[in-house]
Amino acid sequence: MKDIVIIGAGIVGTSIAHSLSRYHLDVLVLEKEFDIAEGTTKANSAIIHAGFDCKPHTLKAKLNVRGNQLFHEYAQEYHFPFKNIGSLVLSFSPEDDVIIEKLYLQGQENAVPGLRILTKEEVLAKEPHLNSSISSALFAPTAAVVCPFEACLAFAENAVENGVEFRFAYPVTQIKKENDYYLINNEIQAKYIINAAGLFADEIAKLMGENQYTITPRKGEYYLLDKQEPFVQHVLFPAPSALGKGVVITPTVHGNYLVGPTAVNLEPEEKENTMVTLEGMNDIFTKAKNTLPDLPFETTITNFAGLRAIAGNDFIIEPSTVNPNCIHVIGICSPGLASAPAIGEYVTDLLLKNGTTIQEKTNYRKGRKNPLRISELQAEELDALIQQYPLYGKIVCRCELVSEQEIIDSFSSALPPTTMDGIKRRLRPGMGRCQGSFCGSRIMELLHTYGNIKMEELLKSSSTSYLLEKEIKRSKHE
């Protein structure tokens, strides 16, 4: 019998698990995919929003501002990539100026610190490559960029260190109420359920007989540009529209540039439609060039698309009115990433308000050990490390400078990778300019050897993404 079962291991589910791991509770996280962060978390703008664009007195406003504060604190404690670069909302017309002023006043009401409206001269001093027709901008110094996967992994690993269990490749297909507990898939007993299933949270609610929620998937397509000399210093937003924040141009924590997204509402049944379209790419190209005429699209590495869960104008985080001992966390679209740590706190508070008796641990382990990355070491430090452990000097990925030993080390972590993308997202081999053409085969060998997975069963990510068909020959040296 589990005290709490969390359904979904994205940034929201893992943040809730992280928050609950502070207490004496038997917590299980169920995830239908083979790893954390396989849904919305893995494909978004990676921005920790300041909180000025949320309507005052909403959950989005409250949790965004608090989440931003927590991200600044946790980045040091949990050692995930995070850069506090600030953001600019750009005005190119008198109509945009009105929007900028409104956002400023809204941000003031939301208690966003440090907001300022900059003149044209001040904006161009910060971002000299901008279209010269810029007239003003709203500057938010607390905005930041993060690696969503690594933040999610940090929270999940800390939760595991504090006793939370994760079970992957486990889709929830049935939930029954049995007296004073829930029975999941006729196997798992749970006193309490937290529904954090992202795009599929409405379907989990339906399994419990609740049909009042409908999630609309909203697709956003992106360009990812190669690393290069600093071209953009801040997160750059256009003045927002009704569908979202528009085409954003932002540095990433790893030195690339991200451009997008589009915002296209899909049908409810299209929750796995991540196809990139020519129409979407052309739309991003045109709008981004209006902002930065010299943006080097010729350095594009790849294009991708992500999906956001839309279920109204605000987050839905509430106890079920039908099923006692269930909390639904639904419609966590932007600024869901920035809000995630605060959502964890909020759900914990709801449990307490619902009468759940929980005792805080005295032996709770804070933070996470700083992962060793040879790309971050000085030459002398790396030389000394290689003298002791030679495989740190055997480079598997040249684009991102990832060693064989780093990949081997990942298999002994709290949440080891089980797929090729699992290694890619933890350590970045395959993320660079060649997109895995150099390192791919060696990563498969390491996944086979240290992950104890048969070659013909190796997966890229999902249960249908087999990497190899069959063995055709063996080396004569074996």
Residue type, 280: G
Give the whole-angstrom CA distance, residue 332 versus residue 129. Answer: 34
Grade residue 302 by pLDDT with cuts at 50, 70 and 90. very high
Residue 438 lies in a domain: yes
For residues 380 and 443, state if they share a domain. yes
| Residue that has been written with the tokens 């002994």 in this structure | 412
Number of independent structural domains in the chain: 3
* pLDDT single digits (tens) 185-237: 999 999 999 999 999 999 999 999 999 999 999 999 999 999 988 889 999 99
DSSP tag of 269: T
Which residues contact residue 335 at a Cβ distance below 8 angstroms, ignoring those fewer than 6 apart? Answer: 49, 51, 53, 54, 60, 64, 67
Q: Are 11 and 115 in contact (CB under 8 A)?
A: no
Backbone angle region of 390, left / alpha / beta, with phi > 0 → left and psi within -120 to 50 → alpha: alpha
For residues 386 and 366, state if they share a domain. no
b/e burial code for range 403-430 (CB count within 10 A of at least 16 → b):
bbbbbebbbeeebebbbbbbbbbbbbbb
Q: Which of 354, 370, 386 is the last residue of a domain?
A: 370
CATH of the domain at 416: 1.10.10
For residues 76 and 164, state if they share a domain. yes
Task: Give me 416's structure tokens.
Answer: 């080891």
Residue 73 lies in a domain: yes
Residue 237 lies in a domain: yes
Q: Are 280 and 305 in contact (CB under 8 A)?
A: yes
CATH of the domain at 317: 3.50.50.60
Residue 470 lies in a domain: no
Q: Please give the model's pTM, rounded to 2 decimal places.
A: 0.96
Q: Are 20 and 192 in contact (CB under 8 A)?
A: no
For residues 437 and 384, state if they share a domain. yes
For residues 107 and 234, state if they share a domain. yes
Task: Give me 452's structure tokens.
Answer: 């104890």
For residues 383 and 357, state if they share a domain. no
For residues 234 and 205, state if they share a domain. no
Give the residue among 31, 32, 8, 35 at the shortest CA–CA distance from 447: 35
Backbone angle region of 178, left / alpha / beta, with phi > 0 → left and psi within -120 to 50 → alpha: beta
Active site residue 49: yes
For residues 113 and 76, state if they share a domain. no
Q: Which of 270, 288, 306 is the last residue of a domain?
A: 306
Q: Are 246 and 238 in contact (CB under 8 A)?
A: yes
Q: Are 315 and 12 in contact (CB under 8 A)?
A: no
Residue 473 lies in a domain: no
Dihedral sign of CA atoms 414, 447, 372, 259 in order: negative
For residues 298 and 337, state if they share a domain. no
* pLDDT single digits (tens) 96-152: 999 999 999 999 999 999 999 999 999 999 999 999 999 999 999 999 999 999 999
For residues 391 and 244, state if they share a domain. no
Give the residue among 189, 261, 179 at the shortest CA–CA distance from 223: 261
- 478 pLDDT above the threshold of 60: no
For residues 278 and 255, state if they share a domain. yes
Q: Contacts for 367-371 with beta carbons within 8 Å, 24 or more apart?
A: 367/77, 367/78, 367/79, 367/158, 368/77, 368/78, 368/79, 368/154, 368/157, 368/158, 368/161, 369/79, 370/79, 371/79
The pLDDT mean for the chain works out to 95
pLDDT at 470: 81
Give the whole-angstrom CA distance, residue 329 versus residue 12. Answer: 9
- 357 pLDDT above the threshold of 80: no
Q: Can you tell me the mean pLDDT for 270-288? A: 97
Which residue range forms the structural domain that includes residue 403? Answer: 374-457
Q: Which of 327, 348, 370 is the last residue of a domain?
A: 370
Element (H, E) at 221: strand 216-225
β-strands 144-146, 165-167 pairing: unpaired
| Residue that has been written with the tokens 């949440």 in this structure | 415
For residues 102 and 77, state if they share a domain. no
Q: Is 162 exposed, middle or buried (0-12, 13-18, 19+ CB in 10 A)?
A: buried
Q: Which of 18, 24, 49, 72 is catalytic?
A: 49
